[in-house]
Chains A and B, each alone.
Chain A
Amino acid sequence: MIAFAEAFPLALVRPEAALCVGLFAILASDLGPGADRRRAGPWLGIAAALVAFLLALDAPSGAVGTMLAIDGPARLARLLILPLVALLLLAGAGERRHGTDSGAWSTAVVGVGLGALVTAASANFVSAWLGLEMLALAGYSLVAFRGGDRRAAEAGMKFVLFGGVVSGVMLFGISHVYGATGHLDFAGIGQAFANGAPTAAGVGLLLAGVGVAYKLTLVPVHFYAPDVYQGSPPLGVAVVSTLPKIAAATALVRFLSMAVPAPLVDHATLASAIAVLAAASMLFASFTALVQRDAKRIIAFSGIGHGAAVVLATACLPARDAAAAAGFYLLTYVGSNVGALVCLSVLERATGGSGLQALAGSWRRHPVVSGLLCLFLLSLAGVPPLAGFLGKWGVLQQAFAAGLGSATYATLATAALLFLLATAVSAWSYLLVVRAVVFAEPATPSAAGGGTVPFATKLALAIAAVATVGLGLWLDGLAVLAKAM
């Protein structure tokens, strides 16, 4: 009989435990009478996320059985996920039009965060799948949070049905991997592949990869994103476009570093396949975004492209700093993306929609918020000196270094060139939004003054703006992350 403390070393997962306590505190506060007490939800969640962040700052490394591995990528992911959860809750506390300052909303946001932490630390297909389900189930409700809204309901239904199908496919693949190798943990699977595993295991891995690709919105399983994002409240998009990407990318990094199906597929072929997938996603997203007429759809295609850039960085593994480049890219992406979506939330409240026509002339109603939206979009486009530029720079550096080094990895260099092309094309789609917001004539010229912006929203926007500008000026940020891994 193993002692509980030995089987489950709580000291390793203190941040996760702190966030769990926060989750239950929000649920308990929601039971109390009175609307004021129910407003405590976001603040309890923010407090829990910040405590968890402090605990994660100086966390020990180790393994929780074969289920979780608290290693470099996992600790980096925590430092990304926990402040992001706090920022998302803060934005929810401000933008309370649809009850996003309630306990229900905060519970779901913290639930997505918890699922992201579990997935990011998973070293086993069961914990990876459970983490992905945790963040998916909470995310479904966030997307459909607007009660009585047709589009939100449709977005939620599409999200849950597509997500369920992908989850079933992934699980069926995992069961084949287990059957063929006798293992569910990444290390054991890697060992089994090194000893020559049957082809069924490779097919199983491919099916399991569909689930990860779905969270990273890679082509061809990206198709849900535009419709789901368009129907969702902007803050729901801010949650489901960022946290799942961090989680899935970290799990992918761990899997690729622990279990390359070596005899079945050699490393160069695997890296090339991943790079081709990433390049196809980028090109598809950047060109399709050009014909969109809704800011949230443009954000969706932007998310497809950014997810693909992270995947391109993981294709450069096991190169030194490739994981750090992916982490830094995600850091720059989430700051600008969440900022842009909070701006859209404010503008949507003022104009009644996120279509480019509805947003026309928002500049006159909300000059500061519109200006910040342009800043965030330019960062997503990769304009220096904003954060997005440095993120892209790091990934390009990795891909060119890996691709030009040897002829077998030449696909990586080609993918990096296509990444440059896709970046240039996608910049145009962001400029479409900027043009509508700044230069277009408003549809209803009389409506001046869009109401006040709540303090919590202002604070969230300020944090996102500081991150967007600050990260862009933090030239050795990538090197610092690489050293910390």
Chain B
Amino acid sequence: MPELSPDRLDGYLLVAGVLFVAGVLAVTTRRSAIGVLIGIELMLNAAALQFAAYGKFSPSATDPQGQTAAVFVVVVAAAEAAVALALLFAVYRTFRDIDLDATRELRS
């Protein structure tokens, strides 16, 4: 186990990787739509953390791209959550449930 410190890139990448895998697990195993939504947020934030970390440790220390990308991700993730929650409300109002197995009418 390498020593993790704020001055090293791999610590940030490890945390981002764990967050992303946790998000994928939540998306694939949760039956509740809210659980899936939390998984999506984890994935997006893993990417944001990775952008910021790569930006901080980029060869040209003043490269702003990673930091700006991270800010964009935060903003879009908030918008995405707002739209998704509105749609989940619509589902709950009609089905009285947000379980992905209980809300299935569309099929061939």
Contacts and interface: CB of A to CB of B under 8 A. Distances in A.
Contacts of B36: 161, 164-165
Contacts of B91: 153-154, 156-157
Interface in A84-137: 126, 129-130, 133, 137
A227 B48 CA distance: 31
Nearest to B51: A175
A360 to B, nearest CB: 18
B84 A160 contact: yes
A137 to B, nearest CB: 5
A178 B51 contact: yes
Interface residues of B, number: 50
Interface in A5-29: none
Given A172-B47, A175-B50, A161 B108 contact: no
A207 B63 CA distance: 24
B107 A140 contact: no
Interface in A156-173: 156-161, 164-165, 167-169, 171-172
A137 B87 CA distance: 11
A165 B40 contact: yes
A126 B79 contact: no
Given A156-B90, A167-B80, A179 B54 contact: yes
B29 to A, nearest CB: 13
B94 A157 contact: no
A176 B86 CA distance: 31
A182 B50 contact: no
A140 B83 contact: yes
A184 interface: yes
A231 to B, nearest CB: 5
Contact of B76 (A130, A150, A183): A130
Contacts of B63: 182
Given A133-B76, A171-B44, A179 B94 contact: no
Interface string B30-50: 000100110110011011101
Interface in A53-82: none
Given A133-B80, A164-B84, A227 B107 contact: yes
A153 B90 contact: yes
Nearest to B68: A126
Contacts of A155: 106
Contact of A130 (B37, B54, B72): B72
A174 interface: yes
B106 A227 contact: yes
B84 to A, nearest CB: 5
Contacts of B93: 148, 153
Nearest to B59: A182
A137 B94 CA distance: 22
B54 A126 contact: no
Interface in B82-106: 83-84, 86-88, 90-91, 93-95, 98, 103-106
Given A150-B95, A168-B40, A157 B103 contact: yes
Contact of B54 (A137, A158, A178): A178
A124 to B, nearest CB: 9
Contact of A291 (B20, B40, B46, B108): B108
A439 B60 CA distance: 69
A297 B108 contact: yes
A182 B37 contact: no
A51 B50 CA distance: 41
Contacts of B88: 157
Contacts of A144: 87, 90
Contacts of A129: 72, 76
B95 A153 contact: yes
A147 B23 CA distance: 31
Given A137-B80, A174-B47, A231 B94 contact: no
Contacts of A293: 108
A231 B106 contact: yes
B17 to A, nearest CB: 9
Given A182-B60, A297-B108, 4 more contacts: A147-B90, A150-B94, A160-B80, A168-B44
21 contacts: A144-B90, A149-B94, A154-B105, A156-B87, A157-B91, A157-B103, A160-B83, A160-B84, A164-B36, A164-B44, A165-B36, A167-B40, A168-B20, A172-B20, A175-B51, A178-B54, A179-B54, A182-B63, A184-B69, A226-B106, A292-B108
Give me the 3 closest cross-chain CB pairs, A-B, nearest first.
A168-B43, A179-B54, A164-B40
